[in-house]
Amino acid sequence: MVIEGTIVSKETGLSAIFEGVEQPYVRCMVARLENPDVQSEARIVGISDLAIPIGGVVKLEVTRVVTDRKAGVVRFDCKLLS
């Protein structure tokens, strides 16, 4: 699955364990291009900073979907495509 949209917010310099290995990531909210009212929370794994500014367009490949049923939130772990 591919998420393409405009960056609404981003938090850089984060680190967590993905697949048993500690890796850097950037957390961001992305407003979908096809429907800007739909915003997705994405963690872009493997980078500590994202050169694309808030308001810029990003294209991400989803590698894993995480559902938090208690909070009612779906998060996407992704790789940066462009």
- 36-46 pLDDT, tens per residue? 898 999 999 99
pLDDT band of residue 15 (cuts 50, 70, 90) is very high
Phi, psi of 48 (to 5 degrees): -100, -15
Number of structural domains, the chain? 1
pLDDT band of residue 72 (cuts 50, 70, 90) is confident
What is the overall mean pLDDT for the chain?
A: 92
Q: 25: domain CATH number? A: 2.40.50.140
CA proximity to 28, closest of 20, 19, 36, 13: 13
Instruction: Assess whether pLDDT exceeds 80 at residue 82.
Output: no
Q: How many other C-beta atoms are found inside a 10 Å radius of the C-beta of residue 79? A: 12
Q: What angle do CA 64, 5, 42 make, to 5 degrees?
A: 30
Q: What is the maximum alpha-carbon separation in the chain?
A: 35
pLDDT band of residue 18 (cuts 50, 70, 90) is confident
Q: Which domain holds residue 41?
A: 2-80
